[in-house]
Chains A and B, each alone.
Chain A
């Protein structure tokens, strides 16, 4: 059985890795670098893998530990991270609108940047209160 703390640790590690991958993808796309070990499907695959990992952790932890790991301070962190993700998507979109990039590039950068900000802000907020 996993404790609520262990489930939180799984979430922090998973969100951290997925956030770094999304940020790397956004930056690499923005500067036009093609990184061989960073294929296009990696951000989505990381998101799915993290979701599966978190689902497995909650199964191993049980209902009580899962509820404790998703308690009201977590909900507050989630809302704050969501706000940061929303505003970063908006700001990135506005900034990239000025750049001479294709629509698909702009969309890819904006979405992966927003995901990265959401995931990494979540990690920072969760670690801050420990």
Chain B
């Protein structure tokens, strides 16, 4: 199973830069960049903060590809 994310799309749709989103959720811009590029898997807390800031569900931001039974 591979974790995919649509953070960049939702961030751009919200009209935010990486730096602005990072500031809003209290992390560094690098963290946002590494999450968007699938280098770093965020904690549950950060995933919830990102979803809250972008007014979407966590499931809209992150998904497991190749999940058994799907």
Contacts and interface: CB of A to CB of B under 8 A. Distances in A.
Contact of B46 (A4, A5, A72): A72
Nearest to B23: A68
A5 B29 contact: yes
A4 B40 contact: no
A72 B31 contact: yes
A73 B30 contact: yes
Nearest to B29: A5
Interface residues of A, number: 16
Contacts of A69: 28
Q: Is the interface of A mostly helix, strand, loop or mixed?
A: helix
Contact of A126 (B22, B27, B29, B30): B30
B28 to A, nearest CB: 5
A129 B29 CA distance: 10
B3 to A, nearest CB: 15
A40 interface: no
A58 interface: no
B43 A73 contact: no
A67 B23 CA distance: 11
Given A68-B22, A129-B34, A73 B40 contact: yes
